[in-house]
Amino acid sequence: MVRIAYATILALASAVMAIPSPLTPDPAGEKNVGNGAGGQFIGGACLSSADCASTCCATLNGAGICSGVGAQFQAGKQGCGFGDGGSAPAASAPAAAPAASGTAGTGNGSGSGSGGNINTSAPGSQNVGTGNGQQFITGQCLSDADCKSGCCALATGLCAAEAVANEGQGCGFVA
């Protein structure tokens, strides 16, 4: 009886492992596909990097999917630049993180935006230091209050998913 149960469990586990789990674009953001307005969320379909809030339209199975720059080669993705005519500005390193200015605490989410260096040419720079929670993941931040995820990573000064930031030093960056 024990051998049958073990064999059954092994067979079920093998069947589950054999089922592919393909990453596919989330259809909820269809209104953001192809308009170049930078409103598409990570995981949504895209026709070029201009569609994505993260500025990275990664190639996946011959189609585009918005991705964080740091995740552009994960889960079968082949890097940023889908639909960009061979140029993939988002495939380079993420925008420079705000540097500490020596005036710790000035970017405390109050919306003042003082302290730190903001790369104003980077996508999402209008959301840095506002404290209104509108910055996308991988965008610059001066505090947790800037990020939709509620996490400005200590190690980078970029918005991150809390689980990802906790693999490093966690959230709570303050410029």
Residue 76: predicted pLDDT: 87
Cα 140 versus chain centre, distance? 11
User: What residue segments make up the domains of the chain, in order of their start?
Assistant: 27-91, 94-175
pLDDT, tens digit, 9 for 90 and up, residues 68-116 = 888 888 888 898 998 887 654 433 333 333 333 333 333 333 333 333 5
**Residues facing 80 on adjacent strands:** 58
Per run of 10 residues, the mean pLDDT along the chain (length 175 residues) is 59 52 73 90 90 90 88 88 66 36 33 53 83 87 87 82 73 77
Distance between CA atoms of residues 106 and 118, nearest Å: 14
Residue 135: predicted pLDDT: 87
Distance between CA atoms of residues 62 and 161, nearest Å: 27
Residue 47: predicted pLDDT: 92
